[in-house]
Amino acid sequence: MNLLTGKRVLVTGGAGFIGSSLCHDLLERDNEVICLDNFATGKKENIKDLKGNPKFRLIEGDIRDMDTCRKAVEGVEVVLHQAALGSVPRSIADPATTNAVNINGFLNMIIATRDAGIKRFVFASSSSVYGDSPELPKVEERTGKVLSPYAITKLVNEEYARVFGSLYGMETVGLRYFNVFGRRQDPDGPYAAVIPKFTMSFMKYESPVINGDGSNSRDFTYIDNVVLANNLAAMVENPAALNQVYNVACGDSVNLNEMTAMLRSYLAGHDPKISTVDPKHGPTRAGDIPHSMASIGKAVRLLGYKPQVLFSDGLKHAVEWYVDNL
């Protein structure tokens, strides 16, 4: 398996949940890492253990500023662009800021990458681009009408990358993440993802609130699978694999009721009192896709991707991390 090693890599959003996992992984394999983050959603504690590493450099700055982007790409061989404002509800509440960061910031980064002569640009997309398509599993070439400003921004990212590949000879790879979870994912705030948010609720003996009747399903994807996919996308040499987008997932789905029951069971193994906490149901959330399950055949075929950690094991790992760190 061809993974990044001995390279100079820029990770935008490198103090975020996914970005910090990439920074740790890259440094473990003797890469030099530049982390660009403005700490709008990233956390300094996610990278505090990297500060003394001579191969790690932090640039505190915003991708909406072109000069910052140009500074960040100096001498870089590969860009892993993770910086974005996530969350469908956040984008519905504030579409302008989501657009400014996710589209204008993306455009700044890909222009800076092009102008620096860097070929390989790997970027985070999202399963939200499938919108109202009822098809399961989700296949890369068939999407529906998007349902949120956040999804629009990710679709625009994909189109910009495709055009930059065809016009300027760049090698772009987009990764459509499906409900990523795991260590260092923030449980706090109004836009926290469901697994860390529910974990925090259970650990406080508070009932988590499931949006809708709990039948909505997701292809929950453990963080190690996303780290692997970024490595493979950065190193793939097959021309047919470039200027493409790929689903990054496990190719399976779990509904919210099932996920919540498993999560409670694993947490109760550490604190039996949690087994007495029952979830509640609330209204369906605007902009949500009812069901999400990926076809990973394209990533398997062209990137050599294979999920390293399936959902149940990933959930156990995540629970252990939260128990130790919250």
Find out whether the peptide bond into 137 is cis, omega within 30 degrees of 0.
yes
Residue 138 pairs in a beta bridge with: 294
Catalytically annotated residue among 130, 150, 160, 246 = 150
Helix (DSSP H) and strand (DSSP E) numbers for the chain: 11, 13
* Structure tokens given for 215: 């039948």
| Alpha carbons 273 and 137: distance in angstroms, whole number | 38
Active site residue 305: no
CB neighbours of 153 closer than 8 A, spacing ≥ 6? 84, 91, 98, 99, 102, 103, 106
Cβ distance 176 to 226 under 8 Å?
no
3-state helix, strand, coil in the chain (%, to 5): 45, 15, 40
* CA R_g for the chain: 19
> Residue 2, exposed/middle/buried by CB under 10 A (0-12, 13-18, 19+)?
exposed
| Alpha carbons 297 and 246: distance in angstroms, whole number | 9
Helix (H) or strand (E) holding 217: strand 217-218
CB count within 10 Å of CB 145 equals: 9
Residues 297, 231, 243: CA angle, nearest 5 degrees? 60
Cβ distance 287 to 88 under 8 Å?
yes
| Alpha carbons 132 and 220: distance in angstroms, whole number | 19
| Alpha carbons 71 and 187: distance in angstroms, whole number | 32
**What residues are labeled active site?**
150
